Amino acid sequence: MKTIPFVVCLAVLFMVPLVRSQDQAKTISDGSAAMPVPAPTATARILGNIPDGTPPPPQAPKPQFVARRADILDSKVHQQGGRTITIQRIKPIALPLPPDPAPQPLAAADPAFQEHLASFREDHPKSNMVPLGASVYHFKDAPTRTLVRYWPEGRGESITFWSSADFSLLSGIFSFVATDGETRCMFMMWGIEDFNSKADLLATLNRGHGVSNIPDFPDGPATFSIVGTPPDDPTVLVPIQSLHDLYNCEFNRLKTAWDGRERARIQRTAYLKAHPPQPKNIVLNYWRTEKTAAEKGAAR
């Protein structure tokens, strides 16, 4: 797949409003018409970092409790799956009192609640979910194609479309700003399948899903084509067009991050194969009290 130079990317972004206003329905070479998407009012951008396989910093070790020998009243050892599970009854430990009950929530009409809500919304912009299911198909003799199912928020029906983008590269995106200026959070379940040819894939999809054709996308920036009847409201496709804009303009960044994740996955798989995890021994401590928790709470 060809990458797009940065200068070309900028040119595409500036030309998008003009192209969309002059060409309200782009036609794919198989004769189907793509749904017109509203002209952008903002530039799509990725929020946060893209995972690239770099391991997270090591976590601080958690504090461990080790019962003193003099406090162990009874001990039983069980064997399970190559490890030992030790159950120890110990002397009671003084625990802190439970916290006071939380204050009653404010009523929605309370002015103080509305003030807190306005402050929260100012610091936490609304994030709309973009749930996707993507099947990425690799071929020996053709470019990658992705069949995507999209569930727009607030709609009962899903939207299915073909894309010339490799959606596995987009799997590292968690949140982004769409071309309407709204923040979106993407949740995508995806997988990769290899086929010798598009004909082999079509034969498989036709039997299981009733798909009879794959659009012949033109060369150049990645785009998409709706399967079946386009949605009545074109604004629901803004997140999808935004993802394609990000794919075209951030391809090198997305591809580099994907390659890093794949290297880390392969290295991790090889390490676990050479060093399979061993079961760890477990020690469970417990004690009995003379009063129940409810009685203790009532007595304080």
For residue 175, which amino acid is it? S
Evaluate whether residue 295 is within a structural domain.
Answer: no
Report CA 119 to chain centroid distance, whole Å: 28
Residue 207 maps to a domain? yes
Q: Which residue has the higher pLDDT, 157 or 268?
A: 268
Whether 227 contacts 163, CB under 8 Å: no
How many angstroms separate the CA atoms of 225 and 161, rounded? 5
Task: Sort 92 into a burial class: Cβ within 10 Å, 0-12 / 13-18 / 19+.
Answer: exposed
292: in domain: no
Tell me whether residue 67 is in a domain. Answer: no
Q: Which residue has the higher pLDDT, 107 or 17?
A: 107
Angle at 18 between CA 12 and CA 22, to 5 degrees: 130
Q: Is residue 291 part of a domain?
A: no
Number of domains comprising the chain: 1
Q: How confident is the model at residue 146 (pLDDT cuts 50, 70, 90)?
A: very high
CA 292 vs. chain centroid, Å, equals 44
Under the banding of pLDDT at 50, 70 and 90, the label for residue 21 is: very low
Q: What is the pLDDT of residues 195-229, one digit of tens each?
A: 988 888 988 887 766 677 889 999 999 999 999 88
Q: Do the domain assignments include residue 61?
A: no
In a domain, 144, yes or no: yes
Model confidence pLDDT, tens digit, residues 106-120: 777 778 778 887 887
Encode pLDDT of 252-295 as tens digits.
Answer: 999 999 999 999 999 999 999 999 999 999 999 999 876 655 55
| Predicted structure pTM score | 0.71
Alpha carbon distance 150, 230 (integer Å)? 12
pLDDT band per the 50, 70, 90 thresholds, residue 17: very low
- Measuring CA to CA, which residue among 89, 228, 38 is closest to residue 147? 228
With a CB cutoff of 8 Å and minimum separation 6, the contacts of 38 are: 20, 180, 234, 235, 238
Average pLDDT, the chain: 83
Burial 215-232 (b: 16+ CB within 10 A, else e): bebeeebbbbbbbeebee
Distance CA 95, CA 157 (A): 52
Please check whether residue 143 lies inside any domain of the structure: yes
Which tokens hold the place of 270?
């090889």
The domain of 152 spans 28-53+125-274
Percent pLDDT > 90 in the chain is 56
Distance CA 47, CA 62 (A): 31
